[in-house]
Amino acid sequence: MVAHPVLPGFHPDPSVCRVGDDYYLACSSFEYFPGVPLFHSRDLRNWTRIGNALDRPTQLRLPLDSPSSGGIYAPTLRHHDGRFWLIVTNVSGDGNLLVTATDPAGPWSEPVLLTGVHGIDPDLAWDGDGTCWCTVAGVSQYRIDPRTDETLGPARRIWSGAPGAKAPEAPHLYHIGDFWYLLIAEGGTERGHAVSIARSSAPEGPFEPCPTNPVLTHRGTDEPVQNTGHADLVQARDGSWWMLFLGVRPGGGTPGWHVLGRETFLAPVEWVEGWPVVGELGAAEGEFTSETPHASAPPFPQLDPPHDDFDLADLAPHWISLRDRPTTHCTTKDRPGWLTLRTRGTSLDATDVIFTGRRQQHPHSRTRTLIDPSEGRGGLAVRLDEQHHYSIEATPGEVQVRARIGPLNPIVATHPTPPGPVVLRIETTTPEPRGARTGPDTVTLGIENPDGTYVQLAALDGRYLSTEVAGGFTGRVIGMYAAEGTVHFDWCTYEPVGS
C-alpha cells in the first residue's frame, strides 16, 4: 500500500520530467515566496530539493494584500530542445507565465507573460513539427509560440472530462506510441478527487475517453491516503511507467482532518490494451519489490536539513516567506549568525506579516528556535493562513501563547522569562483519544529554561489548523515572525518525532 508520500508536507500538484537518468519535479507554492520548489531524483522515490524556479521579485509579483491560497498554481515542467520549460499561473498577479533554464537548479529566466492564454493549470507539449500546444483547465487548448507571448489562434475546447464529473483540470498531454493521451484531474481537490484519461490520433483531438475512467481515485474507500488526483506520468529509463500525484493523509475521527496539506505520492503504471492501469484497479495500492523506486526509501523522508544556524548570506531554499522577502525586513547580514526579522507593524493576522518558515512534513514533529526579543516582539508560529494559526510570542521578560481560530484570538497562556534570549518550542503530537471526536493531532507550545528543562504552556487541538476547518489549498508552515520592532533568531531546528 502506498501510505507514505515521496514529498511529504505541502507539496501539491506535482509535475515531473526525465532527462537521461535524472528526474526533475516541480510543485505549487501559492502565496509563498520564493515560488515553485524544484527537486531532483535518480529513482523517483528519494528526492533532493535543488531550489525554486521563481526566486527573484522580478519573476514573482504577489501583492501584499493578496489572499491566502492565491499566488502560484500548478506548474508544468518539461524538457525540450535542450532546455527546461516551466509554465505556471500566478492567479494573484501576472496570470500565465513561462520561464526557462538550461540547468533546473537555476538561474531561471525572466518570465514571458502569456497574456493570450486564459485558464489555470497550463501544460506544454510539442508535436513532431515543432508546434507547441498549451492546454489549460476546462479543458481548452491553444497553439502558442513559447519563446514569445504570441498565441497562434483562439482557444479550442477539446474535452469536458468523464460523464458526471466536475471541475476538469490539471491537463497533461503526451505522445505515447500511436496516440496522444490527455490526462486530467476531476472532482475537485477534495474527497471526490480523481484522475481520468482520454486519447486521440492528433494532439488537438477529438479525444476518446478511457472506458474504465477514472484511472486513479480513492473516493469511497477507507485508504489512508485520500483526495488523490492532479497527476503526471513519466517513463523510467528501464521502460517502466510511473504516476506522481497529490493526496492527503487525514487523521483523527470523523470526518478526518488533514493538516500537512496536499502531498506528492508515487504509484506504478501498467499499460493494458492501450490504457494506463494505476496500481491495482485504479487505486494506488500494491506491494513494491526491490526493483521498484519504493524499495530502499524510508517511510518518512527528511527532505531538508533539520538545523539551520543562519550562518550563510542567503537563506536555504526550503525557507519560505509570505508574498515577498524584502532584505530590509528579513536578513542574515545585520547580525552575523542570526536571522533578523523587522516588522512592518503588522502581526500574523495580516497578509503582510514578516514571517519565514518551513513546511511541516511529518505528522509528529518538534520545532525549536532561540529568539532574542530585546528590541521587539516576535515568536514561533504554526500557521495555515491569517485566520488559523497558533503561536508562542516573546517580549523582554515574558512569553504568550496565542490561538487564532477564525474571529477568535485569545491569549491562552503567559509565562515570565529571565532576561536575554529564550528557546521557543512547538510540537505536534498524538491527540488524546476521544472516539469519533478525536482530532488529527495536539499542538503543544512552550519554552525551554536555561537548564534545558521544558515548560509546556498550552496543548491545543490541531483540527483548527486543518484544511477541513480553514479551507484553502496549502498546508501547515512552521516558522519565525516579527510582530513589533526587531527580533533576532540564532538558530532553528525542525525534526520528526517518533515513527
pLDDT of residue 280: 61
CA distance 389 to 411: 12
How far from 420 is each of 311, 372, 387, 399, 490, CA to CA, in Å?
21, 6, 31, 12, 12
Chain centroid to Cα 176, Å, comes to: 29
Considering Cα of 406, then 226, then 87, then 149, what sign does the dihedral take?
negative
Looking at residue 336, the DSSP 8-state letter turns out to be T
CA distance 356 to 57: 16
User: What residues have CB less than 8 Å from 418, skipping those under 6 apart?
Assistant: 450
Q: State the pTM of this model.
A: 0.95
Please report where in the chains the cell 518538534 appears, as a residue.
366
pLDDT of residue 32: 98
Q: How many CB atoms lie within 10 A of CB 295?
A: 11
pLDDT of residue 285: 54
Largest CA distance in the chain: 73
Cell of 399: 512569553
The answer to whether 401 and 391 are in contact (CB under 8 A) is yes
The answer to whether 114 and 53 are in contact (CB under 8 A) is no
The answer to whether 378 and 343 are in contact (CB under 8 A) is yes
Cell of 241: 511507467
pLDDT of residue 303: 83
Looking at residue 6, the DSSP 8-state letter turns out to be S
CA distance 401 to 417: 13
Q: How many CB atoms lie within 10 A of CB 472?
A: 16
The answer to whether 350 and 427 are in contact (CB under 8 A) is no
CA distance 138 to 136: 6
CA distance 399 to 414: 6
Nearest partner of 455 among 479, 487, 433, 422, judged by Cα:
422
| Tally of residues, the chain | 499
Instruction: Cite the active site residues.
Output: 13, 169
Q: Which helix (H) or strand (E) holds 21?
A: none
Mean pLDDT by groups of 10 residues along the chain of 499 residues: 83 98 99 98 96 98 97 99 98 97 98 97 97 98 93 94 91 98 96 96 97 94 94 97 97 94 97 93 47 47 88 96 96 97 97 98 98 98 99 98 98 96 98 88 97 96 98 98 99 91
pLDDT of residue 468: 97
Chain centroid to Cα 219, Å, comes to: 22
How far from 185 is each of 126, 195, 228, 246, 486, CA to CA, in Å?
21, 4, 9, 10, 45
